[in-house]
Amino acid sequence: MANDNQDVLSLSVRDFIEATGAKVPTPGGGSIAGVVGALAGALGQMALRFTQGKKKFAEHEEFYARLDARLDKYRKMFEQLVQDDMAAFTLYQQSTRMPEGPEREQALSVAIAAAIDVPREMAKTSLALMEDLESMVGRCSKLLISDLVAAGALASAVVRLTDYNVRVNIPHLEDRMSAAEVRLASTEDVRRAARLLEMLELAVASTMP
């Protein structure tokens, strides 16, 4: 089972699933979003790497090299964000156990800010990933098109998942104006992710049965 100090990414897939279903707070929704994001980046890399080196796409080799590095960066960012999400929850748990007073309120404020910042960063990373996946349209083997679109669908799902986490934590922000701005930005990111996925699906529609 996972605990506050464990690197959940070192677990086997089976153990990670077991840990997620266990009666423990982490890994939870935020961690799952990060893992899904990492898988989206990895699936995009697979589509790229199986296309790379083919004669038909030889003119795009420089593009592939640059994009592969970016996809790798996204994957590592998501992996770090999984840990950050768990750390944010640990901060929240610790702050709720503190005695009433200014120090507790300050600790809670920091924990809530982290609980919002982490999913917001996941959303931004997902949107950047989706834009790069779309740039592969026309430069991806037809045999890998379904994987490319699947990667986009996963990244889009991450944006929606992060919106849930943001919305559940926003009511705890004391600055109502800031809360409203964050809520609006998160809602717009969900819409943008949906548009990007639709564009990706339309772009590859002619190459799929």
Note the pLDDT tens digit of each residue in 122-170. 999 999 999 999 999 999 999 999 999 999 999 999 999 999 999 999 9
Confirm whether 85 is domain-assigned: yes
Give the count of domains, the chain.
1
Q: Which residue is associated with the tokens 């639709």?
A: 198
Confirm whether 61 is domain-assigned: yes
pLDDT score for 25: 82
Note the pLDDT tens digit of each residue in 45-82. 999 999 999 999 999 999 999 999 999 999 999 999 99
pLDDT score for 2: 44
- Please determine, for residue 1, whether its predicted confidence score (pLDDT) is greater than 80: no
Confirm whether 147 is domain-assigned: yes
Residue-averaged pLDDT of the chain: 92
Confirm whether 131 is domain-assigned: yes
* CATH code for the domain of 70: 1.20.120.680
Question: Phi and psi of 7, rounded to 5°?
Answer: -80, 100
| C-alpha span between 169 and 115 (Å, rounded) | 7
Confirm whether 2 is domain-assigned: no
- Please determine, for residue 23, whether its predicted confidence score (pLDDT) is greater than 80: yes
Confirm whether 69 is domain-assigned: yes
| C-alpha span between 169 and 171 (Å, rounded) | 6
Q: How far is CA 173 from CA 76, 101, 113, 179, in A?
A: 29, 17, 8, 6
CB count within 10 Å of CB 138 equals: 10
Note the pLDDT tens digit of each residue in 109-134. 888 999 999 999 999 999 999 999 99
Alpha helices in 22-144 (DSSP H): 29-51, 61-96, 102-134
pLDDT score for 7: 83
Confirm whether 1 is domain-assigned: no
More confident residue, 104 or 59: 59
Query: Within the chain, what is the greatest distance between any pair of CA atoms?
Result: 67
| C-alpha span between 188 and 178 (Å, rounded) | 15
**Domain range holding 59?**
8-19+26-207
Confirm whether 97 is domain-assigned: yes
